[in-house]
Amino acid sequence: MGEVDDYVKRLSPDMRKITNRLRTIIKKALPNSNEVIKWRNPTYLVDGENVAWIINYRDHTDLGFFKGALLHSDLLEGTGKGLRHIKVYRYSDIKEKEFARLLKEAAKLSTFD
């Protein structure tokens, strides 16, 4: 078992279901990504560059993008210089096609610096 699997095992059943679904979407959208624990959370790298993360809070899970300010979607939240995230409160909040589109776009931004 890997670090991220150990992380997921410690989550509540609802958060585990959401997190595993997000992991599946990320792995499908970014098949060449590396899944690691950074800053105590699952983080996804492409060609060594940080692309996305998953953070679990008490009432929701964030799917975050390191260069999210350069992405365009009504789902993205945040006001910082670069980071943006999508809050997922329920499994039904997961928008697979939109999440996959954003992940692919984010990976392109990170690999062409």
Is the pTM higher than 0.85? yes
Q: State the pLDDT confidence band at 110, using cuts at 50, 70 and 90.
A: low
The whole-number pLDDT of residue 113 equals 46
Sheet holding 34-38, edge to edge: 34-38, 41-46, 49-56, 61-65, 84-88
List of domains in the chain = 3-111 (3.90.1150.200)
The whole-number pLDDT of residue 80 equals 86
Question: What is the per-residue pLDDT across 24-73, written as a single tens digit (0 to 9) for each?
Answer: 999 999 999 999 999 999 999 999 999 999 999 999 999 999 999 999 99
